[in-house]
């Protein structure tokens, strides 16, 4: 006659302490827990690896960008332009690449390539840029559009720069630039509003006195 192995008395989970419940759950779910721990460890390792690789890529991009800036400062504009383009292409996804694209378009403006700069900056701004890059890109776009005689669009770009920036000096500079483009576009009221905003909210910036003078000129002291 076969003998049946005695069954262990069922555990009343409600009677166990918190630590005992955890022990029971871990024993019952040992394999899933170990698998989960393994996956978590893998995720941590992968994240660490990506972080290290990203830091190295950013450092390499930054070194290349410094070389491009040095070429620009030394007056070698063709080399600087080439190096800026190289950084944007070889190190896509880094902050240095974003800065290089801005610098490249700044060089284009200095070289009279306003249409090329405007087209690239419009495309650049479709990428969901962080505020500090969006502000600078819109400021450059405003300059390119002013050069092209598109003053109403330039004013809108300058206002977008002011809106995107969290720096008072840049907000003020963009608002003064917007007022200049708006005057050229025949929108005197908008220009006055922006100049008054600078005078009232950002008087300590370098653009404060400029705004005050222009406001006085437009209103004849009234």
Averages of pLDDT over each 10 residues, the chain, 222 residues = 44 54 56 51 48 76 89 89 92 89 90 94 92 91 95 96 92 95 96 96 95 92 56
Residue 11's CB is within 10 A of a number of other CB atoms, namely 11
Give residue 211's pLDDT: 95
Give residue 49's pLDDT: 46
Please list, in sequence order, all residues whose beta carbon lies within 8 angstroms of the beta carbon of residue 13, skipping any fewer than 6 positions away.
Answer: 21, 24
Give residue 194's pLDDT: 97
Instruction: Give the Cα separation of 197 and 26 in Å (integer).
Output: 64
User: How many angstroms from the chain centroid is the CA of residue 209?
Assistant: 30
Instruction: Give the Cα separation of 199 and 177 in Å (integer).
Output: 14
Residue 127's CB is within 10 A of a number of other CB atoms, namely 11
Give residue 116's pLDDT: 96
Give residue 53's pLDDT: 59
Backbone phi and psi for residue 12, each to the nearest 5 degrees, phi listed first: -85, 100
| Angle (deg, nearest 10), helices 114-124 and 95-110 | 160
| pTM greater than 0.85 (yes/no) | no
Give residue 128's pLDDT: 86
Whether residue 177 contacts residue 147, with contact meaning beta carbons closer than 8 Å, is answered with no
Give residue 216's pLDDT: 93
Instruction: Give the Cα separation of 99 and 84 in Å (integer).
Output: 9
Give residue 124's pLDDT: 94
Q: In which region does residue 141 sit, left (phi positive, over 0), alpha (psi from -120 to 50) or beta (all else)? A: alpha
Give residue 157's pLDDT: 96
Q: Where are the alpha helices (DSSP H) in the chain?
A: 18-28, 30-73, 77-90, 95-110, 114-124, 131-147, 151-164, 168-184, 188-201, 207-219
Backbone phi and psi for residue 155, each to the nearest 5 degrees, phi listed first: -60, -40
């Amino acid at each position: 006659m076969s003998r049946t192995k005695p069954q262990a008395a069922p555990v009343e989970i409600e009677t166990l302490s918190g630590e005992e419940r955890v022990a029971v759950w871990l024993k019952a779910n040992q394999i899933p827990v170990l698998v989960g721990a393994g996956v978590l460890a893998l995720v941590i390792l992968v994240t660490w690896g990506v972080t290290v690789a990203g830091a190295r890529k950013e450092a390499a991009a930054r070194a290349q960008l410094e070389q491009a800036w040095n070429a620009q400062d030394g007056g070698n504009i063709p080399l600087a332009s080439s190096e800026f383009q190289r950084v944007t292409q070889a190190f896509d996804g880094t902050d240095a690449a974003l800065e290089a694209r801005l610098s490249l378009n700044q060089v284009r403006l200095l070289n009279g390539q306003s249409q090329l700069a405007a087209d690239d900056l419009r495309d650049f701004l479709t990428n969901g840029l962080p505020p500090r890059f969006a502000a600078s890109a819109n400021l450059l776009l405003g300059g390119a559009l002013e050069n092209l005689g598109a003053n109403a669009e330039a004013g809108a770009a300058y206002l977008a720069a002011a809106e995107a920036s969290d720096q008072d000096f840049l907000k003020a500079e963009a608002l003064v630039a917007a007022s200049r483009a708006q005057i050229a576009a025949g929108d005197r009221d908008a220009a006055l509003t922006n100049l008054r905003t600078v005078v009232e909210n950002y008087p300590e910036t370098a653009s404060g006195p400029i705004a005050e003078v222009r406001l006085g000129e437009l209103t004849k002291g009234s």
